Structure 1
Amino acid sequence: MSLNRTTVKKRGNKINVILITVMVFVHVFLGTEVNAKSVFNGSKVDQYMEKAMERLGIPGASIGIIKGDKIIYLKGYGVAGSDQVPVTPQTPFVLGSTSKSITALATMQLVDEGKVKLDAPVQTYLPWFRLADEEVSAKITVKDLLHQTSGISTYEGRATLVSDDIPIDDFIRMMKNVPLAQPVGSMYQYSNLNYDILGGIIQKASQQPYGDYVKEHIFKPLNMRHSTAYVEEAEEYGLATGHQTIF
């Protein structure tokens, strides 16, 4: 299920909200035919979705239900933006933090190729990497970032979501004043900053922009033709406008 409730960044910039993906299972793996003999009743799904959207204040959503290797239901609800364009199963939505799984996959691909080592310090790939405590910064490893055990707090990761559009390397350089909430490796804390740093490592180790690497090594092999890390491309596909609840 995809919900349009966030914002996106411009091409080549900071990747907190990184991947804009058309959540269309039809085009990814399964063809375009829904099993005509299916006895699945979508009316209850529709009722659930409509009530949930009203309760949560969600302007637009889409859903895909798969059983085994068959699509049994695809539908869009509501609108994709202020222009009132209806949401369809082909409407692109911001993927949000699910992109961390894609970042982790990209990292592990580079590990398999011998270009990244899990136990290597971040500074092996980004020698200029520093947090508020320079000595401790040198102890943070790639594995710590993947496991969310770097010591960087959840709060620090959330605080950056309102940052202006900044290239990844420049954004990582701005972390020089970020404090550690816990000793490195001692505690799990979900933080967006860990995966921002991984984005920088991916770029350095692959010698490709993050978005280009993901497109070439993940989206393209999976035939995800309408998935992208670049907002300009997503807009060409009809990207849904992001929304954020306040008060």
Structure 2
Amino acid sequence: MTRLFHALSVRRVWLVLLPITLIFASPYVIRLLNTYFSAAGGNNLPPLPGALLAIITVPFVLFMFVDLYLLSQVEALLLVGLLALGICLFIVLRKRGGRGARVLAGLTAVAIVALPVVFYRTPYFEYLEARGYAVYAIPSQQNFLDAAVDGVVSQFDGKACQYDLLGWTAENVLYYDRDCRFTGTTTWQYDPTVNQARLVPMVAEPLVTEAETLLVHPAYAPIDHRSPDGRWVASVWEKHAYEPENVIVVHQPNSDQ
């Protein structure tokens, strides 16, 4: 009876641990696959190695779609990450599930803690900077976790949130909407004089600018808003159509600092 109880306890630990491991290992595996195929010039493996690689990686690819929901926003990443980290540490410290489970739980805990550092990502600005624009701020990336979420979802050709510029006020304050999977649509205010974005209940001031295309992107025509004083251009910027997007504010060439 004792052996049976022990076997059932070990099985329960694995049933909890394996999904957690797949959730947080999936971004790393997909990143390795993307790096390999990019270096190899595409999926040009012979049939047998290609089939073996597909079989080995299919669980991680399937959990990629789970990650697009669970890890696609800072609030969700923190909630799921802290819960998973607590479970992994409990397994390790309380010596649950056998040695194999404890080793896997320890590795998973390391993957969770390292995720914001490994997947930290800033938007693609080289094209802008080569044309004389100076990127002043990224209002939609308030901290390193925002950049980490962008890095994670970019592995899956996804978007953490989508943005819609509303316009500038006469006092050169920018308003924009953020639409995320878990929090829905929220309105944000950004003041470049203090370089700070904050959540607001609504647009409280008249907006005086119209959408136009001012910046140049190699893949699409951005929708931009020029500030009334002419110093700033706000844009929703993304590298590709299926990668994360962000609100950016840039100095125009030859504008006063």
Normalising by the smaller structure, the TM-score range is: under 0.3
More strand by share: 2
Specify which structure has the bigger relative contact order, considering alpha-carbon pairs within 8 angstroms and separated by 6 or more residues: 1
**TM-score using structure 1 length:** 0.22
**TM-score using structure 2 length:** 0.21
